[in-house]
């Protein structure tokens, strides 16, 4: 099992979780009008982050195919982080719809 590849996948998932949490904090501050950022700026930042994450996923799948195809989806720690990331993403989508 390639520990370096697994570490890279964990770093990517943690980066996405951190970005989602920061975006949620900005949304809360914007809701209470503590900071004034336009929604276009937040959209541009979100699109840039999505493009970067997709590029990283493509790179990791090409560089470490044995981890992606066999080992990673059986790893409970990875699955819990991945589910947490998806939950945060769903919460952000719901918050944007309700705003």
The predicted pLDDT at position 35 comes to: 66
The predicted pLDDT at position 91 comes to: 81
The predicted pLDDT at position 97 comes to: 76
Provide the strand spans (E) within 1-99.
none
Cα–Cα distance for residue pair 36/70, rounded to 1 Å: 46
The predicted pLDDT at position 36 comes to: 67
Residue 99 is given by DSSP the state: -
pLDDT along the chain (99 residues), means of 10: 80 87 79 70 81 87 78 80 84 76
- Predicted TM-score (pTM) of the model is 0.74
Instruction: Give the chain's end-to-end CA distance (angstroms, integer).
Output: 45
Cα–Cα distance for residue pair 26/13, rounded to 1 Å: 20
The predicted pLDDT at position 57 comes to: 84
**Residue 32 — φ and ψ, nearest 5°?**
-90, 10
Cα–Cα distance for residue pair 95/27, rounded to 1 Å: 8
Q: Is residue 39 within 8 Å of residue 9, measured between CB atoms? A: no
The predicted pLDDT at position 37 comes to: 67
The predicted pLDDT at position 84 comes to: 85
């Amino acid at each position: 099992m390639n520990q370096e590849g697994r570490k890279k996948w964990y770093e990517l998932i943690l980066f996405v979780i951190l970005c989602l949490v920061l975006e949620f904090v900005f949304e809360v501050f914007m809701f209470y009008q503590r900071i004034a950022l336009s929604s276009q700026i937040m959209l541009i930042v979100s699109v840039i982050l999505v493009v970067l994450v997709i590029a990283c996923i493509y790179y990791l799948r090409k560089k470490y195919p044995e981890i992606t195809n066999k080992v990673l989806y059986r790893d409970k720690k990875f699955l819990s982080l991945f589910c947490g990331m998806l939950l945060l993403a769903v919460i952000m989508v719901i918050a944007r719809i309700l705003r």
